[in-house]
Structure 1
Amino acid sequence: MRIRIEGSDLPGRRGGAAADALRLRNVHVGVQRTGPGRVTEVVDRVSAFAGAVTWEFEVTSREVDELLDVGGPFVHGRPGARFLYLSWGSVDGDAFAMFRRAKLFFGDIPTAVLRAAHDGDLLLVGRVGLTDAEGGPRCARVRAPDLVWSLG
């Protein structure tokens, strides 16, 4: 199953003291995946000052006891509680020092939308605002209305 995450309202765009701190720390956001040897890495990183960001990747989906289960290197968590991570961190050369993560749970996707993406081989699209109520990088579990799932 193909997934596209469309991020908008990145915190660096808001200006002020919070944006200055993000700039000084060279903050970026990316998608976390588990690579070869079970090494966790954050890929497709984008500056917190970008106008918007789009990530697109594949996950596996299969039927297990009449329920859908997802997997693959971008999927984290145990069966029944699977999610994606959007990870925030400071970049210094090639080094990425993560300090915050947002969780996008598959269980929060409307069942009909997830089922249609699985059954029809359709693109699953998540639109997420990336700034929290205090003007910083969004973290913790993200739900509607800050995250909306649809078919693309």
Structure 2
Amino acid sequence: MRIHIEATNLPGRSCPPGAGFPGYDGIHVGVQGRVRRDELLGLHPGDAASAAWTLECTAVATADGTDFRGAQIQGRPGGRFIYLAWGSVDGAGVFTMFRRAKLMLDAVDPATAEAAVRTGRLVARLGLTDGKGEPLCAAVRPPLIEWSAGA
């Protein structure tokens, strides 16, 4: 099956310093691979109008619900998540990560997970700027993210 992530409201290519945030330029975001932190899928600039990623995965029915597994899915059963990695890209094109957002798959309600398995597609919709105007980080659960099944 596939997990499709649709993101809007990106924070921009530059974020000034703030409380607990040193500020960065050349901001980009991508999906981090499970095995290698520097293995990024679909790097998008922070000033893009939107960003989207489609991940291949396997959904396995367990006694506790649906367990999603794949090359970009992190964590242990019951605590799986997808990392969106934020970083600066320098003039040479080198990405240096400074923060991550965890899209928590345990926050997908069971009925939505079951419907996604039937349709073959789980969709996540979220904004990527936090309340301070900085790149969204930490564990992301509803209402910051909306999960639905799609065709």
Q: The TM-score by the shorter chain falls in which range?
A: 0.7 to 0.9
Displaced runs of 4 or more, over 3 A:
15-18
1:1-152 matched pairs, under 5 angstroms: 1-12=1-12, 17=16, 22=24, 25-34=25-34, 38-40=35-37, 41-65=39-63, 67-92=65-90, 93-118=92-117, 120-152=118-150
1:16 is displaced (CA, Å) by 8.1
2: CA distance, partners of 1:111 / 1:67: 7
Alpha-carbon displacement from aligned partner over 1:14-72 (angstroms, at most 9, x marks no partner):
x8857xx54xx2110000113xxx33312211000000011111111112236321111
**Match of 1:39, as an amino acid?**
R
**Match of 1:100, as an amino acid?**
R
User: Closer, same or farther in 2 for the Cα pair 1:98/1:64, shift >3 Å?
Assistant: same
- The number of equivalent residue pairs is 143
Larger helix proportion of the pair: 1
2: CA distance, partners of 1:75 / 1:17: 31
1: CA distance, partners of 2:66 / 2:143: 24
2: CA distance, partners of 1:65 / 1:111: 12
User: Closer, same or farther in 2 for the Cα pair 1:16/1:115, shift >3 Å?
Assistant: closer
Normalization by structure 2: what TM-score? 0.86
The root-mean-square deviation of aligned C-alpha atoms, in Å, is 1.9
2: CA distance, partners of 1:59 / 1:122: 10
8 Å Cα contact 2:66-2:110 kept in structure 1? no
2: CA distance, partners of 1:112 / 1:65: 14
User: Closer, same or farther in 2 for the Cα pair 1:121/1:141, shift >3 Å?
Assistant: same
Identity within the alignment, %: 43
